[in-house]
């Protein structure tokens, strides 16, 4: 088939990462860590992940008039991503995420959204051709909800597969659920959206059925070390995680979300798409950083053959 066209409407952040032996408790200082900066933000992470899997990607979002913004846009260009619709916020700084990572690869994240909060429905409308002309639209919740809703409506009208990663968790309006084809959430987000503690497979199925009852045809729950649960009208099942030694779990969910959307956009059956996404996330977790750790299509196919 022709190359899948993916549009991402979402956030662009610079990740400021400190690696330390353990994560601090409230009010505690932990020293001895190393520091690095990595391009990040859920939107741009998913854009890079999709591009490296062999798709044609357009990014829609906002950065600030600062060095971080220029670095993020330059990085997108290096991955072959169309940045025509990445606007510069007139006042706000580029979004920044402060991330702590411990020796087990677990993380804690604080985000200063900056220019991301300036993305408006009018910006989305300016990108109408890219959104409506995409095969797959990837959405998250690090930009204003009205922009997300507008993008979903344009993509749905154009026949795109609308994929929502509801992170960070927030109440969603009925009109957004109605436009979404695929919703993929982690355990925390699933609990926030449904009230169900996803501590077992029966509970995961219960939460998935609640979400599917609100409109999306496909629900996938990312269960961390327990893998992923999926549900559609035709099938339901569980895919175990890929066994790896975790280095950094930052952006693992973004790698999964992008790979899931790409695989479904290529026509892969749901169970196979979830397995593909699980493999992509597993490779990412074994590496440090967000965007730079996203695997290429060749790396994923090689790993799946093994």
Which of the residues are catalytic? Answer: 254
CB atoms within 10 A of CB 34: 10
Backbone angles phi, psi at 22, to 5 degrees: -150, 165
Query: 42-52 vs 252-265: helix axis angle to the nearest 10?
Result: 50
Q: How far apart are CA 163 and CA 151, in angstroms?
A: 11
State the first-to-last Cα distance of the chain, in angstroms, to the nearest integer.
Answer: 26
Query: Helical H runs in the chain?
Result: 42-52, 67-78, 121-126, 128-132, 145-158, 174-179, 187-194, 201-212, 252-265, 270-285, 297-305
Backbone angles phi, psi at 141, to 5 degrees: -120, 30
The answer to whether 32 touches 21, Cβ cutoff 8 Å, is yes
| Residue 187 tokens, joined | 């355990």
C-alpha distances in Å from residue 142, one per residue of 96, 210, 242, 259: 12, 23, 28, 19
The answer to whether 181 touches 192, Cβ cutoff 8 Å, is no
Residue found under tokens 């099938």: 235
């Amino acid at each position: 088939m022709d190359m899948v066209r993916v549009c991402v409407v979402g956030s662009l952040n610079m990740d400021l990462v400190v690696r330390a032996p353990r994560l601090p408790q409230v009010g505690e200082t932990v020293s001895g860590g190393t520091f690095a900066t990595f391009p990040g933000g859920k939107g741009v992470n998913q854009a890079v992940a999709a591009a490296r899997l062999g798709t044609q990607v357009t990014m829609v979002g906002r950065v600030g008039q600062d060095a971080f913004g220029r670095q993020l846009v330059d990085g997108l260009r290096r991955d072959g991503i169309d940045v025509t619709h990445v606007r510069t916020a007139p006042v706000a700084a580029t979004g920044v995420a402060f991330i702590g990572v411990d020796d087990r690869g677990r993380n804690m994240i604080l985000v200063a959204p900056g220019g991301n909060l300036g993305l408006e429905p009018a910006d989305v409308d300016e990108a109408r051709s890219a959104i409506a002309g995409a095969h797959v639209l990837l959405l998250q919740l690090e930009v204003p909800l009205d922009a997300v809703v507008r993008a979903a409506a344009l993509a749905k009208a154009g026949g795109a597969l609308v994929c929502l990663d509801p992170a960070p968790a927030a109440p969603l309006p009925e009109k957004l659920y109605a436009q979404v084809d695929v919703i993929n959430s982690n355990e925390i987000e699933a609990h926030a959206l449904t009230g169900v503690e996803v501590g077992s497979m029966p509970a995961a199925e219960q939460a998935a059925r609640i979400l599917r009852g609100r409109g999306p045809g496909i629900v996938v729950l990312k269960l961390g070390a327990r893998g992923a649960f999926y549900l559609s009208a035709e099938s339901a099942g569980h895919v175990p995680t890929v066994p790896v030694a975790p280095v950094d779990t930052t952006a693992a969910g973004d790698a999964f979300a992008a790979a899931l959307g790409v695989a479904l956009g290529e026509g892969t059956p749901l169970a196979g798409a979830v397995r593909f996404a699980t493999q992509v996330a597993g490779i990412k977790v074994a590496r440090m950083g967000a965007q730079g750790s996203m695997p290429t299509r060749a790396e994923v196919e090689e790993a799946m053959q093994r």
